[in-house]
Amino acid sequence: MAARIAVLASGGGTNLQALIDFYAGERVTAAGTIALVASDRAGAYALERARAAALPAEVFDPSDDGRGLLTLFERYSIDIVVLAGYLRRIPTSVVSAYRDRIINIHPGLLPEFGGPGMYGERVHKAVLESGTKVSGVTVHIVDEEYDHGSVIAQWRVGVREDDTAVSLAARVLSAEHTIYPRVVDMVAALSDLQSRGEF
């Protein structure tokens, strides 16, 4: 049975869209299925994308120590949780209940250029200011600290001489859209095998 994925998004949801498109095209071979899209913001465009794809779209209260989230995850029988532009810290109760089954994507090569406040354009500005010639994408396990859990996958994106934070962000985001669905589905496959006692 396919692993049931919840996607959490606070914003525009282009990574959510990449996941929706991937699963729309890979129904036969996929190890996962998007069972829920949830947001802390009722106005998040990600929710529109979910509705357009006929997926359940729910809003939760981010200030209740994870109770609402865990209720939703139970209601939709969620196996793994995918953060896609979700900007808040995941409450400890949720991290504990879904240990090693919550993943996030970061638009830089962690452990550099991560941590509290390092999101969006700030990451790319810091990369450019550092003078490094390489940026990239990191997919990692979510634990109690921002941008801190084990790295699952990284992919490098070169920094060009004439890059601005905007141009670099666009290339990194495009890499995210390719990488994230594939890594999410790999995690779905592994979590499925694990739940069947294979390892």
**Those residues with Cβ within 8 angstroms of residue 169's Cβ, 6 or more apart along the chain or in another chain:** 107, 120, 121, 124
Q: Contact, 2 vs 30, CB < 8 A? A: yes
Among 3, 6, 7, 15, interactor with ligand GRF by CB under 6 A: 15
Instruction: Name the residue nearer to ligand GRF (CB basis): 173 or 186.
Output: 173
Among 62, 66, 68, 85, interactor with ligand GRF by CB under 6 A: 85
Q: Which residue has the tokens 């060009």?
A: 160
Residue 106 annotated among the catalytic residues of the structure? yes
Tokens standing for residue 170: 């666009």
* Smallest separation, CB 120 to ligand GRF (Å): 7
Instruction: Name the residue nearer to ligand GRF (CB basis): 8 or 192.
Output: 8
Distance, CA of 7 to CA of 68 (rounded, Å): 15
Distance, CA of 165 to CA of 175 (rounded, Å): 15
Range list of β-strands (E), 10-113: 32-39, 57-59, 80-83, 102-106
Instruction: Name the residue nearer to ligand GRF (CB basis): 135 or 192.
Output: 135
* Smallest separation, CB 197 to ligand GRF (Å): 33
Residues 174 to 193 in contact with ligand GRF, rule: CB under 6 A: 176
For ligand GRF (CB under 6 A), the number of binding residues is 13
Among 3, 7, 13, 185, interactor with ligand GRF by CB under 6 A: 13
Q: In Å, how far are 50, 133, 173, 180 from 168, measured between CA atoms? A: 27, 11, 9, 18
* Smallest separation, CB 50 to ligand GRF (Å): 12
**Those residues with Cβ within 8 angstroms of residue 65's Cβ, 6 or more apart along the chain or in another chain:** 91, 93
**Of 106, 124, 140, 148, which one is the catalytic site residue?**
106
Task: State the residues that interact with ligand GRF by CB under 6 A.
Answer: 9, 11-15, 84-85, 105-107, 173, 176
* Active site (catalytic) residues: 106
